[in-house]
Structure 1
């Protein structure tokens, strides 16, 4: 009986070896080179919204052994303004946030204004809107272009939901990076779990591949398809 099962399994392997090799190559590609990540939360609004599927570059910072998190070579250095996927140092959850401070930087926030090494960020294009934070729920929000330490991004603040708009100053330790969500009042980030060690960085987000509106029966957002992130 066991001989028959072994023979059947061997036959199955031979018959499907091409498919199995394809699966292995696909796994290697997604864990070592590039990947695509659905975004379920609004912590990076307005840059990334719920329902976006984001292309990430796993070779941006480190070469890692396929199917593991073991880095074998450094390929690049994280920069202020990068959008990064990483494992939360708090519970290992995969997150996507904005890298705002490098090792040695002193970062702080005062009433929503970001300070980098004692210099306040500049805010331009300030405007008001209603932001859909959940199906059927819109909150008044303020959006602006934030310029700090040579990088810029769109950020937003939600009325009535002040989320640690003041903290620090915090000096980022060697080998660590400080992360914030672009939606400053709707993000669990380094304000809660501290700077993120380089070993927990996974990839740099490069573009939105496809997007669907989760509040409108997953209707495609054609205008967000294949759009670069910055």
Structure 2
């Protein structure tokens, strides 16, 4: 009898554990999630070792692990930091949404033009030492404030790096979006793989949840915890 009671107790405990894990996986798959930033394509907004919070309901509800939408949600906004599946190979990427459906987007020598209006740029001072990964900080770089309509944020340019600095004009069709990395000269984005279909959008990133420095034995970067993404 004691053995049977222990077995029933273990089964109940396992059931609670499995139910809890199922709810956690469902929550992460459908509502909110986090993801690590593996590359420098969004420097200085995001840096290698950041863990970002993602709102999976921002653009609608879809069947987990598919591009099938059950219900369309809010429309993406210019300036959103978006997690999406690359139309090139399905890789999960994070970039900034620059061009909305109907927009005419052009880039001339790093400067954006949206609907034939030149976007204003203001030079910024360099970030504090240690705020960029060593591999990027040692490169010649400049920081600029890019005043997208209704959304100002920081971009980085690497003058000595070979990159696509001009394109277009491109008219963004319905249900397509033009994505660029904030690190403009070190980002594989819409300049290379084209426009992103709406069905490929996964989530909107909102904050840095945690951050660990790979250059210093993955010590936590306390100053970045909870940092909102501009």
- Shared fold by TM > 0.5? yes
Following superposition of structure 1 onto structure 2, how do residues 130-145 of structure 1 map, counting pairs within 5 Å?
135=135, 138-145=138-145
Paired with 1:11 and 1:195, the residues of 2 have a C-alpha distance of 54
Aligned mate of 1:98, from 87, 92, 96: 96
2:3 matched residue in structure 1: none
Q: Is the 8 A contact 1:135 1:215 kept in 2?
A: no
Paired with 2:13 and 2:122, the residues of 1 have a C-alpha distance of 62
Q: Is the 8 A contact 2:47 2:133 kept in 1?
A: no
Bigger share in strand: 1
Cα-to-partner distance string for 1:120-166 (whole Å, 9 max, x where unaligned): 11011334579956559710101010012232110010131131010
Q: Is the 8 A contact 2:44 2:132 kept in 1?
A: no
Gaps of 5+ in 2: 1-7
1:75 Cα deviation from its structure 2 partner: 1.8
Gaps of 5+ in 1: 1-9
- SS at 1:90 equivalent: coil
1:24 matched residue in structure 2: 22
2:221 matched residue in structure 1: 221
Cα-to-partner distance string for 1:4-38 (whole Å, 9 max, x where unaligned): xxxxxx99765511111111111110010000000
Work out the number of aligned pairs and report it: 222
Paired with 1:75 and 1:170, the residues of 2 have a C-alpha distance of 26
- SS at 2:94 equivalent: strand
Paired with 1:92 and 1:134, the residues of 2 have a C-alpha distance of 29
Q: Is the 8 A contact 2:43 2:132 kept in 1?
A: no
Paired with 1:143 and 1:136, the residues of 2 have a C-alpha distance of 12
- SS at 2:23 equivalent: helix
Q: TM-score, normalised by structure 2?
A: 0.89
Distance 1:188 1:113, change over 3 A: same
1:5 matched residue in structure 2: none
1:70 Cα deviation from its structure 2 partner: 2.4
Q: Is the 8 A contact 1:128 1:140 kept in 2?
A: no
Distance 1:72 1:88, change over 3 A: same
1:119 Cα deviation from its structure 2 partner: 0.9
Q: TM-score, normalised by structure 1?
A: 0.89
Deviation larger for 26-35 or 150-159: 150-159
- SS at 1:228 equivalent: coil
Paired with 2:183 and 2:136, the residues of 1 have a C-alpha distance of 19
